[in-house]
A and B are shown apart, each in its own frame.
Chain A
Amino acid sequence: MTAADAGIHDLAEDASPIPAARTAEGSAVAWTSMVLAVATAFLLVFNAASLKSWADGLEPGPATVPVRGVADAWAAQMQALGLSAPRDALHAGWKRAVAVRMDGTSGD
Chain B
Amino acid sequence: MLFPTLTFGLFFLALFAVAWAARGSNEWRKILLLAASWIFYGAWDWRFVALLIGSAVINWALAEQIAETPAVIDNRRWRRGLLIVGVVANLAVLATFKYCGFFLEQVAATLRALGWQRDFPVLQVVLPVGVSFFTFQGMSYLIDVYRGRTAPARLLDVTLLMSFFAHLVAGPIVRASDLIPQFQRTPRLTREAAATGLLLIAWGLFKKAVIASQLATGLVDPVFFDPGAHGPLDLAAAAYGYAVQIYCDFSAYSDMAIGLAALLGYRFPRNFDQPYRAASLQDFWRRWHISLSSWLRDYLYISLGGNRGGTWIACRNLMITMLLGGLWHGASWTFVIWGALHGTVLAGERLWREFKPKAWPGLPAWAGVLATFHVVCLGWIFFRAESFGAAMAFLSGLGGWDAVPAALGALTVTPLALLLILLGLSTQGLPPRLVEGAGQRLARAPAMGVGLALGAAVLVVTAMGPDGVAPFIYYQF
Write the residues of chain A forming the contact surface with B, with a CB cutoff of 8 angstroms: 2-4, 6-8, 10-11, 15-21, 23-25, 27-29, 31-43, 46-47, 50-51, 53-54, 86-87, 90-91, 94, 97-98, 100-103, 105, 107
Q: Across the interface, which residues of B come within 8 angstroms of A18, CB to CB?
A: 193, 196-197, 258, 261-262, 267-268
Whether B451 lies near A34 (C-beta < 8 A) is yes
**Contact A17-B188, Cβ < 8 Å, known A35-B194, A43-B455:** no
Asked whether any CB of chain A lies closer than 8 Å to the CB of B189, the reply is yes
Is there contact, CB below 8 Å, between B189 and A32?
yes
Map CB proximity to A onto B238-277 as digits: 1 under 8 Å, 0 otherwise: 0000000000000000000010011101111110000000
A46, B457: Cα distance in complex, Å: 12
Residues of B within 8 A of A107 (CB): 414
Given A8-B266, A28-B189, A38:B451 Cβ within 8 A: yes
CA distance A62 to B217 in the complex (A): 35
A107 to B266, CA, bound (A): 47
Q: Which residues from chain A contact B413 at a C-beta distance below 8 Å?
A: 102
Known contacts A38-B455, A103-B409; is-contact A91 B463 (Cβ 8 Å): yes
State whether the Cβ of B16 lies closer than 8 Å to any Cβ in chain A: yes
Q: Judge whether B345 is part of the interface by a CB distance below 8 angstroms.
A: no
B467 at the interface (CB under 8 A from A): yes
Chain B 404-435, CB-CB to A under 8 Å as 1, else 0, gives 00011101011110000000000000000101
Chain A minimum-CB-distance residue to B196: A18
Given contacts A8-B181, A94-B463, contact A17 B455 (CB under 8 A): no
B214 and A54 contact, CB distance less than 8 A: no
A50-B462 in contact given A11-B267, A21-B193 (Cβ < 8 Å): yes
Evaluate contact between B187 and A102: CB separation under 8 angstroms: no
Is B454 in contact with chain A by the CB < 8 A criterion? yes
**Is B97's beta carbon under 8 Å from chain A?**
no
B1-18 vs A: 1/0 string, CB under 8 Å? 000011100000100110
Do the beta carbons of B458 and A43 come within 8 Å of each other? yes
Nearest A-chain residue to B262, judged by Cβ = A18
Q: Which residues of B contact A (CB under 8 A)?
A: 5-7, 13, 16-17, 20, 23, 150-151, 153, 177-178, 180-182, 184-185, 187-194, 196-198, 200, 214, 218, 258, 261-263, 265-270, 407-409, 411, 413-416, 433, 435-436, 439-440, 447-448, 450-452, 454-456, 458-460, 462-464, 467
Q: Which of A16, A37, A101 contacts B409 (CB 8 A)?
A: A101
Dominant SS at the A interface?
Answer: helix
Instruction: Please determine whether B408 and A46 come into contact, CB atoms closer than 8 angstroms.
Output: no
A102, B237: Cα distance in complex, Å: 13
Known: A16-B268, A18-B196, A101-B408. 9 other contacts (CB 8 A): A17-B200, A18-B261, A19-B440, A28-B189, A28-B190, A29-B20, A35-B450, A98-B214, A103-B407
Asked if A10 contacts B189 (CB within 8 A), the reply is no
Contact, CB under 8 Å: B455 / A102: no
Closest to A57 in B: B468
* Contact A21 B458, CB 8 Å, known A100-B414, A103-B407: no
Q: CB-nearest residue of chain A relative to B20?
A: A29
Question: Which A residue sits closest to B9, measured CB to CB?
Answer: A40
Smallest CB gap from A37: residue in B: B451
Contact A19 B181 (CB under 8 A): no
- Nearest-CB residue, chain B, relative to A27: B191
- Whether B459 contacts A16 by the Cβ 8 Å rule is no
Query: With a CB–CB cut-off of 8 A, which chain A residues contact B23?
Result: 29
